[in-house]
Structure formats: C-alpha cells, structure tokens
Amino acid sequence: MRPGVSDSIIAELTECNAALSQQRKKRQIPPTLAPIDALERYTQLSSHPLHKTNKPGITSIDINLSKDIVATGGVDSSAVLFDRTSGEILSTLNGHSKKVTSVKFVAQNDVFLSGSADKTVRIWQGSEDGKYDCRHILKDHTAEVQAVTVHATNNYFVTASLDTTWCFYDLSSGLCLTQVEDPSNSMGYTSAAFHPDGLILGTGTTGATVRIWDVKSRGNVANFDGHTGAVTAISFSENGYFLATAAHDGVKLWDLRKLKNFRSFELYDQDTPTNSVDFDHSGSYLAIAGSDIRVYQVGSVKAEWNCIKTLPDLSGTGKATCVKFGTDAKYLAVGSMDRNLRIFGLPEGDDASTGS
C-alpha cells in the first residue's frame, strides 16, 4: 500500500506554489541573458564523446545551472556527468541494465536522478570527491520509465512510465507516496514535467495527448489533443503561461490560461519526429531539436515567435535527440544519436555585449 500524499505535504506544495507565484509576477529578464544577436552567431564550440562506441546515442540531457555541469543519459545504459568549464567527465554512473531515458539534477544536496528502459529509477548521492553512489533503486513501474521531473521544493519528484501510471516520490526516503492510474487512459507516458509553480503536472502520452494533472488531488484537469504520434517532450515556460509540446508532427504551443493551442510549428518532413523542446530559464527563448536544432524568440499568443537560429545536427545521424539551454542561454547543450555531447555558443573573443 502507498502511504498517499499527506495533508502536510499538500500544505508544503501549496506554500511553495504561493511563494513562487509571487516571485513570478516580479520576475525580470536578467541583464546577463544572452541577447538575440549573440544567439544568431552561435556555432559549435566543442564536441565530447561521453558514451560507449558500441552502443552510441545520447537520449536525455540536463544541466545543473549553478555548477555548469551537464548530465547525459545514454543508450549504453550509463549516465555521465560532465564539467563544461573544464571539459572533463566528472563521473560515469553505471547500474542500469538498459538505456537511460531521463536524467535530472536535484538543485540541492548533490542528488541526481536517472530513469531507464529497465523499468527502474535510481537516486544517486554525490560525495565530496565528486563520485556518486546509488542510494535507492525504485522498482514501482512495470514498463519503461520514460520521464523523471523534480518538484520545485526539491523534496519530491514524479516518474512517468509506459505502464500507463505516474508515481509521486519522497526524495529523501525514495518512497513512492502514490502511484496514479487513470482508468480512461490505456496509453503509456512518454514525457512529463512539473509546471514551475509545482501544483500542475504535464504528461505526454504514446497516443498524442497531453494530460494536465492537479498534483494535490491527482486529478486529470485538462487534456490537449491535436498532435500526431507520441508526445516526445514537454516544457513549461518559466512565466507559467506557456507549454511547448513536441511530437511526430512538430511542436505545439499552448496558452495555459485559456487551455488552448495558439501556434504550431511543423518543422521537419513526415519521417522526422521532433524529439526535444526547452524554454530557457528566463522564458525568452525556446529551443527545438529534430533533424536540426532551432532557436525561437518567445513571443506571445498574438506576437510572432521568430526563428532566430538554425544549427545543423553535426552527428551525421540526422537526429538530435535532446537540447538544453545553459545559464543565461549563453550556450546550448545538444545530444544526438552518435555518442557526442555538443556545445554551441559564442566563440572565445566574440563578445556578445559589444556585438563585435
């Protein structure tokens, strides 16, 4: 039996939501944010072979923005932590028996999460010497775990699986507090993300639907239809108003205030799914990955979203699988179906602030 989500946890989530919503109203775009003319000049700065040659492919990516550490999950069933500043691998985390589908940093206490096609989730704890030990192996799912997403409190996280359930965990104990089954949904989950305020969870399904959940009641409060194919990735904008979803047919943008789709990008040919979407932390830019990588300037429901940069997929595989903005959108980290992590940004000496 699952203990459930207690009243005290609900109070904690509600309190966190109130604090974050207040902050959001006062949020300013940081003066350190990379300007559009800098992003227009982004080029590949480096390429790092992080995973095994016999099972190439990076499936997922996350960045610890405060430490500038990039994590990648691989087809070779390992997760790699890479220090972007030094260009060195900090740690390779082995233990999963199948590909790692989702990697996530927890912003506090040097904790790291990995979800895998082997149906398990691992909680890793970092130590002083930079090594990570597996603290818990979670075996609550009966099919591939496709997504892991961390709550804004950094005390809880959610996993989503092809077994048609999502689980809500307590981070410190690794205990599954509740496993949410939806009798009306025979579709597995292929992506998941918490809204920045933490009271809403978005999940993408194998059946092209995006399902929105109230975390407190675990009720399905909205469904977004219109995509073709599995919803491969979802990203909430930090202002809390927009949701970007990717699937076989491209990217759709949703207005969360009116619960409707206000723009669609059909980017690639019919055989090429869009694999990844990511809003930068300021909510100014949106990156999209498929057979290439595109960066859009975030507009509004009425104002245009202009494509300001298209970067080629340099892996030769024709498939960029994941993309993530670095701090202040100063760089983009891209994973592809070869084994390389690629960093795109401004070359040294090309100073964005002067435009020279």
User: Are 102 and 118 a contacting pair, CB within 8 Å?
Assistant: no
User: Are 182 and 164 a contacting pair, CB within 8 Å?
Assistant: yes
Average pLDDT, the chain: 91
**pLDDT of 224:** 94
Residue 350 belongs to a domain? no
User: Are 109 and 169 a contacting pair, CB within 8 Å?
Assistant: no
Which two structure tokens, joined as six digits, stand for 100? 């790692």
Residue 355 belongs to a domain? no
For residue range 8-25, what is the model confidence (pLDDT) as tens digits? 999 999 999 998 888 877
Q: In angstroms, rounded to a whole number, what is the distance separating the alpha carbons of residues 251 and 244? A: 7
Residue the block writes with tokens 């399905």: 220
Q: In angstroms, rounded to a whole number, what is the distance separating the alpha carbons of residues 296 and 323? A: 13
Domain range for residue 30? Answer: 7-344
Residue 324 belongs to a domain? yes
Q: In angstroms, rounded to a whole number, what is the distance separating the alpha carbons of residues 327 and 112? A: 19
Assess whether pLDDT exceeds 50 at residue 32: yes
Please state the domain count of the chain: 1
**pLDDT of 185:** 73
Between residues 316 and 65, which one has the greater pLDDT? 65
- Kindly state the average pLDDT of the residues 323-345: 94
Residue 319 belongs to a domain? yes
Residue 66 belongs to a domain? yes
Q: In angstroms, rounded to a whole number, what is the distance separating the alpha carbons of residues 148 and 161? A: 9
Closest CA to 40 of 342, 311, 276: 311
**pLDDT of 355:** 43
Q: Is the dihedral of CA 312, 314, 315, 318 positive or negative?
A: positive
Q: In angstroms, rounded to a whole number, what is the distance separating the alpha carbons of residues 290 and 247? A: 10
Residue 1 belongs to a domain? no
Assess whether pLDDT exceeds 80 at residue 285: yes
Residue 351 belongs to a domain? no
Confidence of residue 351 (pLDDT cuts 50, 70, 90): low
> Residue 103's domain is classified under what CATH number?
2.130.10.10
Assess whether pLDDT exceeds 60 at residue 142: yes
User: Are 116 and 103 a contacting pair, CB within 8 Å?
Assistant: no
Residue 44 belongs to a domain? yes
Assess whether pLDDT exceeds 90 at residue 131: no
